[in-house]
């Protein structure tokens, strides 16, 4: 379908379009948790048609990111997601790029995705499938561990009734009010010949290859 341009219907740059938007068109959207605080930014989303010759193109989403401390927008994104897509979903989609790149780095470094040296598609497909499956298992384990309680919050197991700490005296013995030096001397002078020694060593056959 042809689109005829007129004097009042001329294409404009995305920067000029962003500058013409009112301030209320921008909303602060958070897309994920960062190291110290949630990552967020100011975004505006509107439906546009990209200008390309005289051909009338389909409507697309134009997502504009304009930080508060900047004089003009810093990023622009075009998306062919449905017109009913929420602004937060648009932001999550475009910001998933960094998550995808991080996943790709982990797949190469931790699971050897780039170690494949074959030339056939079937071999690479098999190698990539195993790497992705292993990575999916690792992510599932991380998520399961994140939902578990912290060690400080875990209930402590109850001690058995007959528990006695290491080095503690026998509860049934009577306390001694003084030291008996003669008892120590008697033990030192004990005749060692009265002690019976039993050899518990049992020879075994040593098998080597």
Report yes or no on 17 lying in a domain.
yes
**3 inside domain:** yes
pLDDT digits over 160-172, tens only?
Answer: 676 666 666 665 6
Could you tell me if residue 47 is inside a domain? yes
What does the alpha-carbon distance between residue 26 and residue 131 come to, in Å, rounded to a whole number?
A: 41
Distance (Å, whole) CA 101 – CA 140: 19
Residue 63 counted as domain residue = yes
CA atoms 130, 133, 139, 144: torsion sign: negative
Assigned domain for 182 exists:
no
Residue range of the domain that includes 54: 1-83
Residue 57, both tokens: 């193109």
Tokens of 7: 């004097």
Q: What is the pLDDT of residues 105-141, one digit of tens each?
A: 888 888 888 888 888 889 989 999 999 999 999 888 8
Residue that wins the pLDDT comparison between 136 and 158: 136
CB 81 within 8 A of CB 93: yes
Q: Is residue 158 part of a domain?
A: no
Q: What is the pLDDT of residue 117?
A: 86
Looking at the chain, the whole-number percentage of residues with pLDDT higher than 70 is: 65
Residue 164 lies in a domain: no
The strand ranges marked E within the chain are 27-33, 38-48, 60-65, 75-79
pLDDT, tens digit, for every residue of 16-58? 999 999 999 999 999 888 778 888 999 999 999 888 777 778 8
Residue with the larger pLDDT of the pair 64 and 7? 64
Q: What is the pTM of this model?
A: 0.54
- Is residue 150 helix, strand or coil? coil
Alpha helix (H) ranges present in 13-120? 14-20, 87-111
* Rounded-to-integer distance, Cα 139 and Cα 144, Å: 9
Count of structural domains, the chain: 1
Q: Is residue 185 part of a domain?
A: no
Rounded CA-CA distance 22/144 in Å is 44
């Amino acid at each position: 379908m042809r689109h005829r341009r007129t004097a009042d219907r001329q294409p404009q740059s995305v920067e000029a379009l962003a500058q013409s938007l009112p301030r209320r068109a921008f909303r602060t959207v958070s897309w994920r948790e960062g190291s110290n605080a949630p990552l967020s930014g100011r975004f505006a989303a509107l439906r546009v048609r990209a200008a390309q010759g005289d051909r009338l193109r389909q409507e697309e989403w134009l997502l504009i990111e304009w930080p508060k401390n900047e004089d003009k927008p810093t990023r622009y994104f075009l998306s062919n997601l449905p017109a009913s897509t929420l602004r937060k979903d648009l932001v999550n989609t475009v910001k998933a790029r960094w998550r995808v790149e991080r996943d790709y780095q982990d797949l190469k470094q931790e699971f050897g995705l780039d170690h494949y040296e074959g030339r056939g598609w079937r071999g690479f497909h098999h190698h990539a499938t195993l790497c992705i499956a292993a990575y999916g298992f690792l992510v599932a384990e991380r998520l399961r561990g994140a939902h578990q309680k912290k060690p400080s919050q875990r209930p402590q197991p109850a001690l058995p009734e007959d528990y006695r700490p290491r080095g503690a005296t026998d509860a049934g013995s009577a306390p001694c009010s003084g030291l008996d030096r003669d008892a120590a001397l008697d033990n030192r002078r004990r005749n060692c010949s009265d002690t019976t020694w039993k050899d518990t060593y049992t020879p075994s056959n040593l098998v080597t290859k």
